[in-house]
Amino acid sequence: MISPILYALAKQVPAMQSGFTISTNYGDIEITDPDECRAVADVVRAVLEQRLQRAAHEQQKGGGDAER
């Protein structure tokens, strides 16, 4: 699953800088303050980078569908 992660890191995370909505089963949370946008985007970037490392490791081991 490397491609969706790369897309998120290249397009979606940077787009978070201008504001975004977190949707939950209990409603939405609007994040619009630039400092808050940056802070949440930094956390999301870190999580996605960890996912990318795990996916690359799995791909090297020859496991799973890491190419998608």
Amino acid 51: pLDDT: 96
Rg of the chain taking only CA atoms, in angstroms: 14
Is 52 strand, coil or helix? helix
Maximum CA pair distance of the chain? 43
Amino acid 2: pLDDT: 78
Amino acid 68: pLDDT: 46
Amino acid 1: pLDDT: 64
Is 31 strand, coil or helix? strand
Amino acid 62: pLDDT: 82
> What does residue 10 show for φ and ψ, rounded to 5 degrees?
-80, -35
pLDDT along the chain (68 residues), means of 10: 91 98 98 98 98 93 61
